[in-house]
């Protein structure tokens, strides 16, 4: 079952003159949340027991959320939702990049830098 470990909300409705909310909802992909959301990167340990994620709004293209500075950063939590712990400050690295595409005014596919886990560290943790 899904487990909520952290949540950020917008206190009041936000104007959407370009209809981006509808497009986001119709495609049902989480990638678009990086443009305006607080959760930027995600990694899962090889054994599936640990999740690491980044919280920041510093690199949002359409900032609608306000996350307090002391809540921005990298976090670790067990896959069961227990043990939430802040690991480090947030990076200043965008979680996506538009790649130039000939003939496209906005670019094309983007990278999704994942949070890799070291196989060696995972092996030591299991011993």
Query: What pLDDT score was predicted for residue 60?
Result: 63
- CA pair distance 31, 112, nearest whole angstrom: 8
Query: What pLDDT score was predicted for residue 125?
Result: 47
Give me the tens of pLDDT residue by residue for the chain, a chain 127 residues long.
Answer: 889 999 887 778 878 777 777 777 777 666 666 666 788 888 888 888 999 998 887 766 666 677 888 888 999 999 999 999 999 998 877 777 666 767 766 655 555 556 777 666 544 544 4
pTM of the model: 0.71
Q: Which residues pair with 110 in a beta bridge?
A: 98
Query: What pLDDT score was predicted for residue 29?
Result: 65
- CA pair distance 70, 98, nearest whole angstrom: 29
- CA pair distance 63, 123, nearest whole angstrom: 39
């Amino acid at each position: 079952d899904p487990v909520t470990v952290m949540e950020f909300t917008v206190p009041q409705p936000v104007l959407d003159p370009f209809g981006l909310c509808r497009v986001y909802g119709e495609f049902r992909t989480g990638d678009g949340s990086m443009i305006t959301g607080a959760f930027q990167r995600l990694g899962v340990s090889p054994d599936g027991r640990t999740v690491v994620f980044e919280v920041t709004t510093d690199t949002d293209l359409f900032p609608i959320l306000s996350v307090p500075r002391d809540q921005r950063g990298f976090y670790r939590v067990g896959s069961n939702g227990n043990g939430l712990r802040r690991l480090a400050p947030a990076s200043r690295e965008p979680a996506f990049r538009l790649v130039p595409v000939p003939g496209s005014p906005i670019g094309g596919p983007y990278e999704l830098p994942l949070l890799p886990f070291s196989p060696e560290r995972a092996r030591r943790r299991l011993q």
